[in-house]
Amino acid sequence: MAMRVFLDTNVFIYAFEFPGSNSAKIIGLLNEGELEAFITPQVLKEVVRYFRNLHNKELADEFRHYLLEVCNIVHEFEIEGEMQKNRGKIKDSDLQQIAAAKHLQLKLVSYDKDFENFEEYILPREFVKSLGKAQSNTKF
């Protein structure tokens, strides 16, 4: 059975931009079926926006299709209670991610210091290490 994990926007971006990174290793494990990934619609929008703005529409569309195919989407209505509990503890742009991770009792893999005060947060490098896999030298 695949390990369940919440993946933040930056994991997908770093995986693409830095093929030797720990984020790339995580996406490799996702593609191999060793991980079951969860994201929010916000993560989907952020990834697509990044690739549209910094690359091109075609790549952004490919990422949208990929994320919708391989990730489970956690919708805001599912995590409203958890969002209320955590409002004010983190900036609004990160609220959905932490609420989803808490609600589903998952690790939140990200390279974002805004999550540092939450027990669910884990850096990509530390996550790869926790799986017993070889890590790259990057934290991300």
Domain count, the chain: 1
- Assigned domain for 135 exists: no
Q: Read off the amino acid at residue 78.
A: E
For the segment 106-125, what is each residue's pLDDT rounded down to a tens digit?
Answer: 999 999 999 999 999 999 99
Query: Residue 98: what pLDDT?
Result: 98
- Assigned domain for 136 exists: no
- Assigned domain for 140 exists: no
Residue 27's nearest CA partner among 41, 47, 49 is 47
Give the SS3 label for residue 109.
Answer: strand
Please report where in the chains the tokens 């742009």 appear, as a residue: 93
Query: Residue 1: what pLDDT?
Result: 84
- Assigned domain for 139 exists: no
How many C-beta neighbours within 10 Å does residue 50 have? 19
Question: Which CATH number fits the domain that encloses residue 94?
Answer: 3.40.50.1010
Give the rounded percent of residues in the chain with a pLDDT score beyond 70. 100
Question: What are the two backbone dihedrals, phi and then psi, of residue 111, each rounded to the nearest 5 degrees?
Answer: -115, 75
- Assigned domain for 137 exists: no
Domain interval for residue 54: 3-130
- Assigned domain for 59 exists: yes
For the segment 82-89, the average pLDDT, to the nearest whole number, is 97
Angle subtended at Cα 105 by Cα 11 and Cα 85, rounded to the nearest 5 degrees: 100
- Assigned domain for 87 exists: yes
Please report where in the chains the tokens 């290793």 appear, as a residue: 25
Measured CA to CA, the distance from residue 138 to residue 132 in angstroms comes to 16
CB of 70 closer than 8 Å to CB of 62: no
- Assigned domain for 35 exists: yes
